[in-house]
Amino acid sequence: MRIVHYVNQFFAGIGGEDAAGTGPELRDGALGPGRRLAAVLGDEHEIVATAVCGDDYAASHPEFAAELVASARDRGAELVVAGPAFTSGRYGMACARIAVAASEAGLPALAAMHPENPGLGEAAGTAVVESGATSRQMRDSLDRLAAATRKVAAGEQLTAEDGRIGPVARTNRLADRSAAERAVALVLTRLGGDRDATEIPLPDFDRVTPAAPVADITEAVVALVTEGGFVPAGNPDRLESARASKWVRYSLDGLDSAESGTFESVHGGFSTQWANADPNRILPLDVARELEREGAIGGLHGEFLATTGNGTTVADARRFGMEWAAELRQQNIQAAILTAT
């Protein structure tokens, strides 16, 4: 098969964080780890091009995936492979988005990342195989990815034995035992000491290590972000009051306070009466301006970012957070104040 392989700016040899804003492009042949992948795949398959995008750009411009997949199809791609992304969150998100976009375009697709990569939640049932935690496991990760690529190219389904991880599309099948028999067997297994045995694995939420403190907050530019459904009066961009599918941004230029009638909260799940009487209760713009005037902070970012936390899925919330982080990094923001309900 003709394969297009996706890597980020680092593994493409463009640069590190200084090049994280690099936009999407397609380059001829295999680059970086793609050369090893091509060698392991052998003559049966060919990496005709490498798709590249910077991690920050990919996190804040989700449309990049469809653009690259369209370019890959123009290049004659028959299969799209992404990664391995290890535990790099922005890279993992990009790999997942590329694989999903390819699948939606009718192309077989496969991504590789560590099971703890937050991008795994973006895969939406697309095939993902396990990689090591860091690039020190690159060789073994590429060997597993190559083996899985051969199976996908042959039209075969990946299983846990192939290293498949993440959500798998549900299919109906006839069980070999009745529900009552399985329930009794599970009880006996639990009584036997296996407290984790289950037919329905529970979600395993990742733990996020807090960032280091800001070295000098008096020199830092600080952003205000919120999941309080905080929007201009009238909700011009129709941010959802529950189960948000997006986030919004608005300017704070020229504003010293969030006044009633100018801003409102559309958050469902609690009474917004007092929040709308004084919107600074949701977005503390008045106090932030005081800190700015006093020199307690270096400055206030000219925009705020907002979404709604009510009923929002973990996968969407994780995506919003990563997109916010990428956006603020691009603007050279050193700290953010996140207000929640």
Residues 139 and 250 in one domain: no
Assess whether 106 and 223 both reside in one domain: no
Place of tokens 């329930």: 183
Same domain? 142 vs 280:
no
Q: 30 with 133, same domain?
A: yes
DSSP, res 200: S
Query: Which of 165, 193, 208 finishes a domain?
Result: 165
Q: Are residues 33 and 157 in the same domain?
A: yes
Q: Are 119 and 91 in contact (CB under 8 A)?
A: yes
Residue-wise pLDDT tens for the chain (341 aa)?
A: 999 999 999 999 999 988 999 999 999 999 999 999 999 999 999 999 999 999 999 988 989 999 999 999 999 999 999 999 998 989 999 999 999 999 999 999 999 999 888 888 888 778 999 999 999 999 999 999 999 999 999 999 898 889 999 876 667 888 899 999 999 999 999 999 998 888 877 766 677 788 899 999 999 999 999 999 999 999 999 999 998 989 999 999 999 999 999 999 999 988 899 999 999 999 999 999 999 999 999 999 999 999 999 988 887 888 899 899 999 999 999 999 999 87
The domain boundary residue, chosen from 165, 200, 233:
165
Domain boundaries, position 302: 217-339
CB 83 within 8 A of CB 131: yes
pTM of the prediction?
Answer: 0.67
Q: Of 142, 165, 188, which residue sits at a domain end?
A: 165
Domains of the chain: total: 2
Residue 203 lies in a domain: no
175 is a domain residue:
no
Give the C-alpha separation, 36 to 30, whole Å: 9
Query: Quick count: other Cβ atoms within 10 Å of Cβ 228?
Result: 25
Is residue 128 located within the same domain as residue 9?
Answer: yes
Same domain assignment for residues 158 and 222: no
Tell me how far apart the alpha carbons of residues 263 and 255 are, in angstroms, rounded to a whole number: 12
Report which residue type is found at 95: C
For position 53, which CATH number holds? 3.40.50
One domain for residues 222 and 160 = no
